[in-house]
Amino acid sequence: MKDMLLKNASVYAKRSLSKADILIRNGVIAELGEISEDNCADVRDMAGLYIFPGFTDVHVHLREPGFSYKETIRTGTEAAARGGYTTVCPMPNLNPVPDSAENLKIQTDLIEKYAAVRVVPYGAITRGENGRELADLEGMAQSVVAFSDDGKGVGDGGLMREAMKRSAAIGKIICAHCECAELAGGAIHDGAYARAHGIPGIPSAAEWKMIERDIALVRETGCAYHVCHVSCAESAALIRAARAEGLDVTAETAPHYLVLSENDLRDDGAFRMNPPLRTEKDRIALIEAVCDGTIGMIATDHAPHSAGEKSRGLALSLNGIVGLETAFPVLWTELVKTGVLSAEKLLSLFCEGPGKRFGIGAEIGVGKAADLTVFDMDCEYTVDPEAFASMGRSTPFAGRRVFGRCLETVVGGETVWKYEDGGK
């Protein structure tokens, strides 16, 4: 592996952006600052470009094993690399569900063979994600980032209490998909659009009531608890209060909840996801929660489906959109360029937030692994799903003009994605 010297870029390190050079040697950042070009074979002038730590997404769906017609580990991690991600954490709604060391190994063998970026999977909370019997948490603990039944809420409070106790004992986080089954079952938010178009709705209470229950269980068990894909104001308020109380509670939200609301809905499967897009009031509340640290990270909930599964309109399409290749440019365009967030705040949500909570991810510093991404933040272009590496094409941001083109992604000093190598 030859040395690589990246010169004159704007570099995000130690939570600030400044001009710096980066010397990469043997896959590690050897020097950072003003560096001489002497004795370095590969010197690249990065003037006008930005170098960030590789992003971390703690909530993706890679669909393999079991659903490779939707996505594979290869295509999903290539999509991650194109979006600037160097670490992703896939959820366990697979076949077989990773609910034991044996089933998890099927997934990790595929990861080892095909992944383009670092992949740290979740283990399931319950067997088969059936909500009736706990999975082998202890047997999977050394190989997973955390435990989740994402795609389903754990409806049995007693079972969740026991999961929290066991997870706390082995030092792992419970990541909860909060959805009360008795209140769910609709297609979109139970609001103005649903009523106007006669589409079954999902109330915000389907989310926040389970968060309320789980916070009480965290108070009882001392478990480290993380809330997936927060979508509504009530959820943010509960999480804020729990954190103020000193409970070990964190949360994520997704780009679409910060940029879109039910006001943007169209009868198109690209606008159907779970939880659904909610009101403008909810969107503003989530931005406030991001600004004050209540929500500490951005996760895409990248959830690819086949074209047929997403072609049935809002009422009948499957839940889920893709997001790895659009997340950062969409939020940079809609929140940073408009002055809602600083560049440093947005980067903290993609880098430090996930790293601090889950102990994974990248950092630009001497002695750190060279996991980084290069962006041209002045490049404006139109989101074109047909150019995605992901097999999924369904995104509500299709056709949107955005700023921020990922030019290169490096993992362990090796380039895993380069725009000139075929990007469109």
Q: Where are the beta strands (DSSP E) in 362-400?
A: 372-382
What residues pair up with 45 in beta bridges, in sequence order? 7
> Which pair of structure tokens corresponds to residue 123?
């283990």
Q: For residue 113, with 0-12 CB atoms within 10 Å meaning exposed, 13-18 middle and 19 or more buried, which class applies? A: exposed
- Write the CA distances from 306 to 60, 63, 90, 358, 392, integer angstroms: 16, 11, 18, 31, 6
Angle between helical axes of 280-291 and 233-244 (0-180°, round to 10) = 30
* DSSP tag of 25: E
- CA separation for the pair 394, 408 (Å, rounded): 24
Q: Peptide bond preceding 96: is omega within 30 degrees of 0, i.e. cis?
A: yes
Question: Would you list the DSSP string of 298-360?
Answer: E---B----TGGG-SHHHHSPS----TTTHHHHHIIIIITTTSS-HHHHHHHHTHHHHHHHS-
Residue 301 annotated in active site: yes
Q: Peptide bond preceding 65: is omega within 30 degrees of 0, i.e. cis?
A: yes
Helix count and strand count (H, E) for the chain:
13, 18
Catalytic residue chosen out of the listed positions 21, 99, 214, 301: 301
Q: Where are the beta strands (DSSP E) in 107-219?
A: 118-119, 147-148, 173-176, 188-189, 201-202
What residues pair up with 20 in beta bridges, in sequence order? 9
Report CA dihedral (224, 133, 183, 316) to the nearest 10 degrees: 110
- CA separation for the pair 75, 83 (Å, rounded): 12
Catalytic residues: 301
